[in-house]
Structure 1
Amino acid sequence: MPATDDSVASLPPLSLYVHIPWCVQKCPYCDFNSHNLKGGLPESEYISHLLDDLTQDLPLVTIDGEMREVSTIFIGGGTPSLLSVAGMQRLIDGIAARIPLSPSAEITMEANPGTVEADKFIGFEKAGINRISVGVQSFDEQHLKALGRIHDSTQATSAIELAKRLPLRSFNLDLMHGLPNQSVEDAMQDLHKAIALAPPHLSWYQLTIEPNTSFYSKPPTLPDDDILWEIQERGHQILSAAGYEQYEISAYAKKGQQCQHNLNYWRFGDYLGIGCGAHGKITRMAKQMPKRAEQDAAANTNIVPEYEILRTVKVKHPKGYMDLTRSYMDKVIPVESDDLAFEFFMNRFRIMEACPKAEFTKNTGRELSSIELQHLKKAESMKLITSNTEEWQLTDTGKRYLNSLLDLFV
């Protein structure tokens, strides 16, 4: 049964992230924890470990013998659509048997158009997936090749058309811009093709070169800053005219079609992370950690001692993760008081909706100090945010210079 204590209701919503670490081929721009599939997929073994991992995490979300309820699940990777339908069914059934799921839980699975056949999409939906995120990235064959994608534009279109025919709650189309040697017109052509497929949700984000990627070792020629800005400006206008609302820095959605899982991240909600290298963020109440609460109270810190926030990290490599001689948990890190403001605003200012000022104390367990107020006033003077007695709001300038805004809290 889900926890029903009134104090539990004051905690942020709880989500679950599930990581599937394998891909047919790792893309040269990808810095996620993914590994080329060599030989057969160890599906049954890995799913057993995922479910055991979840079982080991349950004490983190159990209060007075009752578990908190999960409101969203996101199965990411890697390439989760490599799993068989039977494997996906076992995974979702196993999760539901271990932790309470909201009757209206959003359950998202990432899919690569090159690893999905019609029967699998239909089977995934029957297994409980009610939202699919299709990693298209581009409809241009040359750009797909440069990005190391294993699908072509025909497969991408077919995958989206299939998603449209399924009785899903929603689906997302992932599209990138700022690709190697991409012109403004190339980017707009991609965007027009995506909009023509009428996805309820469209993630539209700029390619960035990250450390520990093939592109970082051998950087491709990317569009200059002026072209990138023109792509973003024209793209935003096109998406807005097509009825899409920008609700997050890199995400657009039709009315009522925002990704609830991502919104919980950016609102500084809680989430368990299971699977290789998965991260989690959990708020624990004082009754779950009496020693820490006593220490904070004795030290007279400005942390409200009703709860603390933990970051969790699982063992990264599949071989180590599936080693029965060790724990799945690699690190459990309490978020220090001095870091809470940066972590809260780093997430909260990614979304376009206004941020109620009361939300800071509710979701961090501490009052706004003179330091945070000073940073916020500076952000306001730089026209990165606006403020009134009730809330903060990101400005258009703040959207463009988000990193500068977040740097104020470091």
Structure 2
Amino acid sequence: MNTLTLPLQLPPLSLYVHIPWCVQKCPYCDFNSHGQQGELPQAQYVEALLDDLQQDLHYVQGRTLHSIFIGGGTPSLFDAKHIKHLLDGIAARIPFADNIEITMEANPGTLEHDDFAAYRAAGITRLSIGVQSFASDKLNLLGRIHDRDEAQTAAKRAATAGYQSFNLDLMHGLPNQTLEQALADIDTAASFQPPHLSWYQLTIEPNTLFHSRPPQLPDDEALWEIYRQGQQRLSDLGYQQYEISAYAKPGFQCRHNLNYWQFGDYLGIGCGAHGKVTLPESDRIVRTVKIKHPKGYLDAEQYTFDTAEVEREDRALEYLMNRLRLMSPIPKAEFEARTGVAAEEVAEGMARGAERGLVTVSDTHWTLTDKGHFFVNDLLSQFC
């Protein structure tokens, strides 16, 4: 694709922090996570995270932090005092935006429930709780360490702990799951009135236990009915779908994830963490990857394992691969600012998509149609 050069503009800046340990590896998980063996090196790892961040400060370029997301693994294995030390260290290095969103992932089976207030006092503003299901038999099949009662207790405590927002993660298309069971999980989750719900289908990924020993999953017809009726149930409950697998009450979209999908910038610190940074002065967009294994990371002097350029001819496709996950129209001005590519350079591909009923085109926006949301890859193929 021949591209016209436009100036890159600095987008909002987020920070992703990866804490790689969990109690045990789930059979469906392909994330960079490691089962806990003995006492965790919490203080040492936090110091390594802050050293890692120090080495990335040249990427900040005068910006404040828009959001922080502490993921894993299971970050709630770390004591609140270490999370506070981490956040204090980050704040000492990069100014926080006034309304910064700071999310931490937590699993019901690892939370001492009186720690909800401690994490909030440490600076966490938003919890994301990996419930996955409220059915104990399904949780057992998924290898989760919590049961239905612990999931409900965690959701109830999160709802009353004074956070600005909290999310419950739910999966559907679980082994032997019926439509009624999938809808019951949605209803149970909604009863705790979370401002945000993640609802996504279980997929079998390479290099997981489920890939080598596949469970019996619902067939395609059953999966479609679960999705169709689940979508309607969530809508009836007041949740607006704003991303492929994310639903929120008005005003409670996850700002951190929105920044990802809008091709914003993010630093990534911690084992195997990925980052993406815009460098307008040199007309570059770079992606970074940190050392993956905890031992190598803790022993490192330089934490970045790899840095790769997003080549100019790939920027439009990379932007669209992210942005098309969102339900909202795509501003052409945002596309140009984040990629440095003129909107007219993708006009032909968008026109072909419009002819197929996948997208509508106006002077200022591209908007996926209902059909387009189901055939995103067909639209993306116009730009490969």
| TM-score, structure 1 as length reference | 0.90
Say which of 376, 379, 383 aligns to 2:357: 383
- Match of 1:20? 19
- Match of 1:301? none
- Match of 2:35? 36
1:257 and 2:231 equivalent? no
1:92 and 2:91 equivalent? no
Say which of 327, 351, 356 aligns to 2:302: 327
Say which of 237, 240, 261 aligns to 1:242: 237
Say which of 320, 324, 347 aligns to 1:349: 324
- Match of 1:188? 183
Map 1:268-307; keep pairs closer than 5 Å. 268-286=263-281, 289=282, 307=283
Checking the alignment, whether the CA contact within 8 Å between 1:308 and 1:365 is kept in structure 2 is no
- Match of 1:156? 151
Shift of 1:389: 1.3
- Match of 1:47? 46
For 1:333 and 1:368, locate their aligned partners in 2 and report how far apart those are by CA, in whole Å.
Answer: 24
Secondary structure of 2:259's counterpart equals: helix
- Match of 2:370? 396
Matching residue's letter, 1:405: L
Shift of 1:228: 1.0
For 1:189 and 1:409, locate their aligned partners in 2 and report how far apart those are by CA, in whole Å.
Answer: 41
Call closer, same or farther: CA 1:179–1:407 in 2, change over 3 Å: farther
Checking the alignment, whether the CA contact within 8 Å between 2:23 and 2:35 is kept in structure 1 is yes
Checking the alignment, whether the CA contact within 8 Å between 2:332 and 2:343 is kept in structure 1 is no
Secondary structure of 2:56's counterpart equals: helix
Secondary structure of 1:389's counterpart equals: coil
Cα deviations across residues 19-38 of structure 1 (Å, max 9, x unaligned)? 00000011111111101111
Secondary structure of 2:30's counterpart equals: coil
Say which of 151, 156, 161 aligns to 1:166: 161
For 1:216 and 1:408, locate their aligned partners in 2 and report how far apart those are by CA, in whole Å.
Answer: 31
Shift of 1:368: 3.2
For 2:36 and 2:178, locate their aligned partners in 1 and report how far apart those are by CA, in whole Å.
Answer: 34
Matching residue's letter, 1:202: L
Cα deviations across residues 59-82 of structure 1 (Å, max 9, x unaligned)? 1223xxxx3211100000000000
- Match of 1:266? 261
- Match of 2:59? 60
For 1:323 and 1:236, locate their aligned partners in 2 and report how far apart those are by CA, in whole Å.
Answer: 47
Checking the alignment, whether the CA contact within 8 Å between 1:276 and 1:315 is kept in structure 2 is yes
For 1:86 and 1:357, locate their aligned partners in 2 and report how far apart those are by CA, in whole Å.
Answer: 44
1:213 and 2:213 equivalent? no
Q: Mind listing any 5+ residue stretches in structure 1 that lack a counterpart? A: 1-6, 290-306
- Match of 2:342? 367
- Match of 2:101? 106
Shift of 1:378: 2.0
For 1:402 and 1:188, locate their aligned partners in 2 and report how far apart those are by CA, in whole Å.
Answer: 26
For 1:73 and 1:392, locate their aligned partners in 2 and report how far apart those are by CA, in whole Å.
Answer: 29
For 1:158 and 1:235, locate their aligned partners in 2 and report how far apart those are by CA, in whole Å.
Answer: 24
- Match of 1:311? 287
Matching residue's letter, 1:34: S
Cα deviations across residues 69-106 of structure 1 (Å, max 9, x unaligned)? 11100000000000001111101111101111112100
State how many pairs are aligned.
Answer: 378
Q: Which runs of 4+ in 1 moved over 3 A?
A: none
Cα deviations across residues 164-207 of structure 1 (Å, max 9, x unaligned)? 11121100000000111111111111111111121100000001
Secondary structure of 2:114's counterpart equals: helix
Say which of 225, 236, 240 aligns to 2:220: 225
Matching residue's letter, 2:311: E
Matching residue's letter, 2:197: L
Matching residue's letter, 1:171: F
Checking the alignment, whether the CA contact within 8 Å between 2:316 and 2:341 is kept in structure 1 is no
Secondary structure of 1:408's counterpart equals: helix
Matching residue's letter, 1:17: Y
Call closer, same or farther: CA 1:28–1:408 in 2, change over 3 Å: farther
Secondary structure of 1:380's counterpart equals: helix
- Match of 2:121? 126
Checking the alignment, whether the CA contact within 8 Å between 1:61 and 1:284 is kept in structure 2 is no
Cα deviations across residues 341-370 of structure 1 (Å, max 9, x unaligned)? 111001111011111111111111121354
For 2:359 and 2:222, locate their aligned partners in 1 and report how far apart those are by CA, in whole Å.
Answer: 26
For 2:371 and 2:239, locate their aligned partners in 1 and report how far apart those are by CA, in whole Å.
Answer: 20
For 2:142 and 2:375, locate their aligned partners in 1 and report how far apart those are by CA, in whole Å.
Answer: 27
Matching residue's letter, 2:370: D
* Identical-residue share of aligned pairs (%): 57
Matching residue's letter, 1:319: K
Q: Cα RMSD (Å) of the superposition? A: 1.4
Matching residue's letter, 1:210: E
- Match of 2:315? 340
Greater relative contact order: 1 or 2 (C-alpha under 8 angstroms, separation 6 or more)? 2
